Amino acid sequence: MFKETKNGLILNLKISPNASKNMFVMEESGLKVKITAQPIDGKANKALIEFLSKQFKVPKTYFEILKGETSKEKTILIKNIYAEKIEEIKSFVNSINY
C-alpha cells in the first residue's frame, strides 16, 4: 500500500467514483477511496486529489498520479513531504477500520 522513495511517499489505492460521500474504506486488498465525483473528464481524479489533500493536510500540488489516470487502480506520489508527515499519513491510513 505504501512505498517510501527519495521523491516522497507512493500510495497504491482503488477509487470508487459516484459514491454517496467522500470516504476511506479499508478492504483486504488495500485502501479504497470513495469519491462523489463522476469519472468524466478527470473530475474523479481531481476530487480524489482534493480529498487526499484535505485528509492528509498536504498541499494539492504535492500529489501526482503516477499510474491509473483512467483506471480505478491508482498509484499516487506524495512529494516534498518530510519523514514526520510520512509517518502521520501512514498512521492515519492504518487507523482506518475494515
User: Which structural domains are found in the chain, ordered by start?
Assistant: 2-94 (3.30.1200.10)
Q: What is the pLDDT of residue 97?
A: 78
Question: CA-to-CA distance for 44 and 20, rounded, in angstroms?
Answer: 13
pTM of the prediction?
0.93
Question: CA-to-CA distance for 80 and 59, rounded, in angstroms?
Answer: 10
Contact present, 67 and 74 (Cβ < 8 Å) = yes
3-class DSSP string for 71-93: CCEEEEEEECCCHHHHHHHHHHH
pLDDT tens digits along 37-49: 999 999 999 999 9
- How would residue 76 be classed by pLDDT, with cut points 50, 70 and 90? very high
